[in-house]
């Protein structure tokens, strides 16, 4: 039987700490986390007291400085989700104008910075997460260049698109995960799927009803304050069937507008949620109430514990939740790495 030890990890571009949350729950030791967002710093101070957090812009940190932050010779794992909106097929890119999409988006370069810092840290293994859009951005050149960089630095790797719903997260959320190592004895693997449609020999998908239908506004929970919607938006919400979107062809003239997006889609209580995305008040509509989700309801769809508190103005809290890697999925990675890889 493999001897268990406390494995160490570094979380880069950590955001609100979804990856840290999941790996720590599985017994990993967080050496430090890094992000350039001041509110994420406050989130870590609140939810991970005693753990190190560095408020830094990683694209400006030198290799020598990064080595000094690590302060040890060996690290088991480096994880992270470099900012991805430049690749997203849901969120805003550089511009909605196709001519301008080819212009430089600095967020795209951060995936390369992640690999540079992995090389400096020399971990046994790394795990990187990003949106599916990275596969096709700039006709696939960015992802191709990323893989070439990984190979050039001597890493073997595998990548796969995973759907969080297949791992017990109550949300259809497809993301690309890259795992890599320089140690030949490590057999790179992905966690086994645990959930799926009823036809498969797996546990059923976890639904929106499972996640938060037991909540109401009277629950004394942090981050659980509904927005006060304008009367016109409430009238729109009333027209949206459960599990569907706003029927734009049936709207009265005074309710019509362009670009409704995810904010005018109502969740079905009987299925996992659609993807929770970052952005100012970009959450979908409650299955049975004529309002958007609260931050806490969205956090439950992301599998954050109820005592995990998001900090800052509401739009910052929305960004923290929407950008996060679901802690449950992170924990599935952690368990797999602990038991079968390292």
Q: What CATH number labels 8-193+325-341?
A: 3.40.50.150
Q: The tokens 């960004």 sit on which residue?
A: 319
Pick the closest to residue 47 from 282, 330, 320 (CA basis).
Answer: 320
Secondary structure letter of residue 340 according to DSSP? I
**Three-class SS state of 25:** helix
Let me know the angle formed at the C-alpha of 214 by 209 and 219, rounded to the nearest 5 degrees. Answer: 140
Distance, in Å, from the CA atom of 148 to the CA atom of 322, rounded to the nearest integer, reads 30
Q: What is the pTM of this model?
A: 0.91
Mean pLDDT of 155-165: 98
Distance, in Å, from the CA atom of 38 to the CA atom of 80, rounded to the nearest integer, reads 18
What pLDDT score does 258 carry? 72
| Cα dihedral value 149, 152, 154, 159, nearest 10 | 40
Q: The tokens 């362009």 sit on which residue?
A: 258
Mean pLDDT of 326-331: 98
Res 146 pLDDT > 80: yes
CB contact at 8 A, 10 and 79: yes
Q: How far does CA 131 lie from the centroid of its chain?
A: 9
| Mean pLDDT estimate for the chain | 90
Distance, in Å, from the CA atom of 17 to the CA atom of 80, rounded to the nearest integer, reads 10
- Residues with active-site annotation: 84
Q: The tokens 């979804």 sit on which residue?
A: 18
Q: Are strands 203-204 and 195-196 parallel, antiparallel or unpaired?
A: parallel
Secondary structure letter of residue 98 according to DSSP? T
And the tokens for 72?
A: 């040890």
Query: For the segment 64-101, what is each residue's pLDDT rounded down to a tens digit?
Result: 999 999 999 889 999 999 986 566 555 444 333 434 44
Mean pLDDT of 121-126: 97
Q: What is the largest CA-CA distance in the chain?
A: 69
Query: For the segment 277-305, what is each residue's pLDDT rounded down to a tens digit?
Result: 987 678 999 999 999 999 999 999 999 99
Distance, in Å, from the CA atom of 207 to the CA atom of 152, rounded to the nearest integer, reads 43
Distance, in Å, from the CA atom of 91 to the CA atom of 55, rounded to the nearest integer, reads 25
Domain ranges of the chain: 8-193+325-341
Distances (CA, A) of 280 to 49, 94, 221, 285, 306: 28, 17, 21, 14, 22
H or E segment to which residue 179 belongs? strand 174-181
Distance, in Å, from the CA atom of 281 to the CA atom of 310, rounded to the nearest integer, reads 15
Distance, in Å, from the CA atom of 48 to the CA atom of 33, rounded to the nearest integer, reads 10
What pLDDT score does 96 carry? 36
């Amino acid at each position: 039987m493999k001897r268990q030890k406390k494995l160490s990890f570094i979380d880069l571009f950590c955001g609100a700490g979804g990856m840290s949350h999941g790996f720590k729950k599985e017994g990993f030791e967080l050496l430090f986390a890094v992000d350039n967002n001041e509110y994420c710093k406050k989130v870590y101070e609140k939810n991970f007291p005693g753990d190190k957090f560095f408020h830094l812009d990683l694209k400006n940190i030198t290799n020598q400085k990064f080595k000094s932050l690590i302060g040890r010779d060996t690290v088991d794992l480096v994880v992270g989700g470099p900012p991805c909106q430049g690749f997203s097929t849901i969120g805003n890119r550089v511009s909605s104008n196709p001519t301008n999409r080819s212009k430089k988006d600095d967020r795209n370069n951060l995936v390369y910075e992640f690999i540079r810092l992995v090389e400096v840290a020399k971990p046994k293994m790394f795990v990187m997460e990003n949106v599916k859009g990275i596969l096709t951005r700039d006709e696939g050149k960015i992802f191709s260049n990323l893989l070439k960089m990984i190979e050039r630095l001597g890493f073997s790797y595998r990548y796969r698109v995973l759907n969080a719903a297949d791992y017990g997260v109550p949300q259809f959320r497809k993301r690309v995960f890259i795992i890599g190592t320089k140690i030949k004895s490590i057999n790179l693997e992905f966690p086994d799927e645990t959930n799926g449609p009823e036809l498969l020999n797996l546990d059923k998908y976890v639904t929106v009803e499972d996640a938060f239908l037991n909540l109401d506004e009277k629950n004394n929970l942090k981050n659980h304050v509904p927005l006060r919607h304008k009367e016109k938006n409430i009238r729109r919400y009333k027209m949206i069937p459960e599990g569907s979107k706003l029927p734009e062809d049936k709207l009265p003239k005074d309710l019509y507008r362009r670009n409704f997006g995810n904010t005018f889609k109502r969740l079905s209580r009987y299925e996992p949620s659609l993807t929770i995305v970052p952005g100012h008040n970009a959450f979908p509509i409650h299955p049975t109430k004529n309002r958007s989700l609260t931050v806490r309801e969205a956090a439950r769809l992301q599998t954050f514990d109820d005592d995990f508190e998001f900090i800052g103005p509401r739009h910052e809290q929305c960004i923290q939740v929407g950008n996060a890697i679901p802690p449950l999925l992170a924990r599935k990675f952690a368990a797999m790495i602990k038991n079968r890889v390292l």
